[in-house]
Amino acid sequence: MALEVKETPTDFDLNNLRKLAENLNITKHFLIGKNNSPKFDQYIWGGSIRLMAIR
């Protein structure tokens, strides 16, 4: 599993993570963001991680 944490994630960050994971034969990759991104929503907001772990 590949994880990348950014202050404010963008589609550029996701594409880079996807390429790195593919080059390393990693099938699962997740982009995590501290701040909400106004034009991009394909990431996990850092504040929701605790809630996800409880479920």
Which three-class secondary structure string do you get for 16-32?
A: HHHHHHHHCCCCCEEEE
Q: Is 43 exposed, middle or buried (0-12, 13-18, 19+ CB in 10 A)?
A: buried
Q: What pTM did the predictor assign? A: 0.80
| CA nearest to 4, candidates 39, 44, 50 | 44
pLDDT tens digit at each of 55 positions of the chain:
999 999 999 999 999 999 999 999 999 999 999 998 888 999 998 877 765 555 5
- The C-alpha atoms of residue 52 and residue 55 are separated, in whole angstroms, by 5
